[in-house]
Structure 1
Amino acid sequence: MQETAILADAACDLPRDVMAQLKVHTIPFRIRAGEHFVADTRDEDALPTLYQQYLVGRQDHYAESIPLLERELEEHLLRNVVAHCDRAILFTIASSRSKLYAHASGAVIGTVARSVRLRKEAGRSGLFDLTVVDTGAIGPGQALIVREAARMAAAGASPQAVREAVETRLRDAAHMFLVPDELLYLYTRARQKGEGSITWGRYAMGSAFNIRPVVRMHRGHTEAIAKARGSEEGARRVLQHAEQCIRGGDLMVPTISVCHAGPLDAVRAMPAFQSLARTARDQGVELMLAPMSLTVALNVGARAFGLSYLAESPPPFE
């Protein structure tokens, strides 16, 4: 059987131990801060320092995440992938949020053509096969899709079967919720990107009355669906909603993904998270908790909370 490498970009909030278990490899993003560049490789040990460096107390938005260009992706794959397996599937952040999918799709032909010599030197025959799949999600939603796709590939599913599962079933079932903590950061970032998710009026009102939006992303569309008195209240309502999904048997895949752009112990200490963890354990649902990727956190700010599940018809958010 041909070997298949599973690749995901650094915006995918899959916990490190799950990545190791499923043998998921990271494609980096590049972080630009003024004239300085660093690689976002989703190093969980480094993320707390990176939050402090690029997020905490900053409102100038001098840092941004930039996807690798076609040639850079080719070079990365040639150095790290093509000589070690016969095929690879790259699962990217939503194409509506990043140009990585377009760059990766453009890098397929060059990677395959340039891999021949390297594969021959490594004792491998035949052309390298590269499939690029748009998950249509970010952060914890992307993590759920990659986890399920990697599980399918490990069980022997073909790249075509995995791709069809993502594009016809999993992608439309991914529901992601975000609760920001720093409204000024979110407002300024949204304005820079030309988005209307938070207006000046909403920012001013939210700051005055400690109101935080609960933002949902589904099928590439992002909208504020509720208001909460503070980010902790917003996170509590999202966690309770996820617990309701478990109790109602609404999950397509028995896994929930949670992320936080800050200390994970702050999430573990939440009574609502502890309740969700107990219900998940009792119902045989895996609960994944991971640091929020720097690429996602740069768009929503420090201490932002995220959660995602896969469901065709979840209950309404209350």
Structure 2
Amino acid sequence: MQETLILADAACDMPRALMAELGVRTVPFRIRAGDRFVADVRDEPALPSLYAQYLVGKQDHYAESIPLLEREIEDHLLKHVVTSCDRALLLTIASSRSKLYAHASGAVVGTVAKSFKARKDAGRTGLFELTVIDTGAIGPGQALIVREAARMLGGGASAQTVVQAVETRLRDAAHMFLVPDELLYMYTRARHKGENSITWGRYMLGSAFNIRPVVHMHRGQTEPVAKARGADEGMRRVMAHAQQCIRSGRLLSPAVALSYAGPPGAIQALPAYQSLARTAQQHDVELMLAPMSLTVALNVGAKAFGMSYLCENPPAFE
């Protein structure tokens, strides 16, 4: 029987403890700030210092997350993956948000071709198999898809069944909601990238009236669905929406994922989170609260909050 491993890139906002429990491994991103480079490997203990270094008060200090190149992905897999399993499923951040999926897809042939010698030296026979899947999600949405794939695999499902589930059901069901806190950071980031998601007028209006957008992401596409008076009100509405999904029994998988570009304890202290936790416990739904990956946080700023669920027919956001 072939051994199959689930891989996720560092943008996947799954708690490290859960990743270890499910046997999920990480493919890193690279962070560039000027002429300095650091690796984003979802090192949770290091994230507070990384936030302080690259996010807090850094509106004019541009840092960016860069996906590994094809040859670098090959090298990583040959060194860390191909000798420990026979097949791997790499579930990537949305291809609309990063070139990692394209680079990883380009690395498949080289990785497989070069795996024979390494596997033979490790006492394994045959070529390594690699499947790359675009989750169409980021952060907590990606985490839910990875969680479900790993649980299916652990329950005895074949790799082919898992791939089919992701591509035909889970990807379509992943919904993410984002509430940014630092509008100036998002404005300068959007301007640097040539995007119009936050214009100068929207930034000035939001700052003057303490308005924060609630952004919805589905299948790699984003759109604002509401405006909130302050980030706390935005987070409250997002978590109330999650409670509505739980109570209506619409979740495709009994889990809700949350991430925060700051200390998770700040979220746990919120009455809205405590209410969500009680509802989740009453309905046997798992809450996955994790610090936001540096790769995702670099695009949305410090203290940004994200929440995701899997649902084929979600209620309207109120």
Q: TM-score range by the shorter chain?
A: over 0.9
> What SS does the aligned partner of 1:254 have?
strand
* Contact 1:153-1:159 within 8 A present in 2 as well: yes
Q: What is the CA-CA distance between 1:61 and the residue it aligns to?
A: 4.1
Q: Which residue of 2 aligns with 1:118?
A: 118
Moved more, 82-91 or 186-195: 186-195
Gaps of 5+ in 2: none
Q: Does 1:185 align with 2:185?
A: yes
Moved more, 186-195 or 6-15: 186-195
In structure 1, C-alpha distance between the alignment counterparts of 2:194 and 2:95, rounded to whole Å: 17
Per-residue displacement from partner, 1:85-136 (whole Å, max 9, x unpaired)?
Answer: 1111101000000000000000000001111101001110111111101000
Q: Does 1:18 align with 2:29?
A: no
Q: Counterpart of 2:171 in structure 1: which amino acid?
A: R
Q: What is the CA-CA distance between 1:52 and the residue it aligns to?
A: 0.3
Q: What is the CA-CA distance between 1:264 and the residue it aligns to?
A: 0.8
Gaps of 5+ in 1: none
Q: Counterpart of 2:292 in structure 1: which amino acid?
A: M
* Contact 1:29-1:295 within 8 A present in 2 as well: yes
Taking every aligned residue pair, what percent have the same amino acid on both sides?
Answer: 75
In structure 2, C-alpha distance between the alignment counterparts of 1:158 and 1:250, rounded to whole Å: 26
Q: Does 1:98 align with 2:98?
A: yes
In structure 2, C-alpha distance between the alignment counterparts of 1:85 and 1:94, rounded to whole Å: 25
The number of aligned residues is: 318
Q: Which residue of 1 aligns with 2:151?
A: 151
> What SS does the aligned partner of 1:125 have?
coil
- RMSD over aligned CA atoms reads 0.8
Q: Counterpart of 1:204 in structure 2: which amino acid?
A: M
In structure 2, C-alpha distance between the alignment counterparts of 1:136 and 1:195, rounded to whole Å: 20
* Contact 1:42-1:293 within 8 A present in 2 as well: yes
In structure 1, C-alpha distance between the alignment counterparts of 2:76 and 2:189, rounded to whole Å: 30
Q: Counterpart of 2:129 in structure 1: which amino acid?
A: D
**Structure 1 segments (4+ residues) deviating >4 Å:** none
Q: What is the CA-CA distance between 1:158 and the residue it aligns to?
A: 2.1
> What SS does the aligned partner of 2:176 have?
strand
1:216/1:61 CA distance change after superposition, 3 Å: farther
Q: What is the CA-CA distance between 1:213 and the residue it aligns to?
A: 0.4
In structure 2, C-alpha distance between the alignment counterparts of 1:297 and 1:153, rounded to whole Å: 30
Q: Which residue of 2 aligns with 1:295?
A: 295
Q: Which residue of 1 aligns with 2:259?
A: 259
Q: What is the CA-CA distance between 1:233 and the residue it aligns to?
A: 0.6
Q: Which residue of 1 aligns with 2:87?
A: 87
* Contact 1:61-1:189 within 8 A present in 2 as well: no
In structure 1, C-alpha distance between the alignment counterparts of 2:221 and 2:108, rounded to whole Å: 28
Q: Aligned ranges for residues 1-318 of structure 1 at < 5 Å?
A: 1-318=1-318
